[in-house]
Amino acid sequence: MRKRLLKKTCLMPAAMLMVLFFTICGYCQDAKVVFECGDIGVQARRVLSGLKKERAEFSRREKEIDKRENELKILQAEVDKKIERLKQLRDELGEMLAEKEQGENEKVKKLSKIYQKREPAAAAASLAAMDKELAVSVLSRMRDKYAGEILDNMEQATAVDYSTSLGQLDK
């Protein structure tokens, strides 16, 4: 009798370790399979129950993480679409600005030709009365000789101011 009891008590911790190992490694998916092999003790059942709860919690967390990853992928795709749309709009805006600038350059070039044909005194009076930036643009597109004659017919302060602005355009 003592030999049987001794064998049972020696085998119990080894069986419990095997059950824990198989449970942790996933070989034993259900505690029922382990319990069918014989009574392994209350402590082992508690450990198995705790492991089963932890496995359920890990599974729940894994599903939640997968759900969040999918949401992030969807959001990333939306952000990528919006970035692409913004790039398209930026390009369209750049083209529109280039067209506008080209149109303005053509108008200034035409004005420059018109003012070159006028008398220097009349052209000087008109240019002095208009917006400084426009007047400087018109003067910059004239031949140097005509621009000089027009500046000679302006008030000295205005001529100096326009000349200074003309000099800065080259920079």
Q: Please report, for the chain, the start and end positions of each structural domain, with discontinuous segments joined by +.
A: 118-171
What is the per-residue pLDDT for 6? 46
HSE, side-chain direction, 13 A CA sphere, residue 105: 6
What is the per-residue pLDDT for 99? 95
Q: How far apart are CA 129 and CA 168, in angstroms?
A: 21
What is the per-residue pLDDT for 168? 84
The CA distances from residue 111 to 37, 62, 105, 106, 137, in Å, are 103, 73, 10, 9, 10
Interacting residues of 111 by C-beta distance below 8 A, sequence separation 6+: 134, 138
Residue with tokens 């004005």: 111
Interacting residues of 37 by C-beta distance below 8 A, sequence separation 6+: 15
Are residues 125 and 98 in contact, defined by beta-carbon separation less than 8 angstroms? Answer: no
Are residues 127 and 154 in contact, defined by beta-carbon separation less than 8 angstroms? Answer: yes
Both tokens of residue 22? 């198989």
pLDDT one digit per residue (tens) for the chain, 171 residues:
555 544 444 445 555 555 555 666 555 555 454 445 456 688 888 898 999 999 999 999 999 999 999 999 999 999 999 999 999 999 999 999 999 999 999 999 999 999 888 899 999 998 889 888 998 999 899 988 888 898 899 999 888 988 888 888 755
Q: Is 38 left (phi over 0), alpha (psi -120 to 50) or beta?
A: left
What is the per-residue pLDDT for 167? 85
What is the per-residue pLDDT for 106? 93
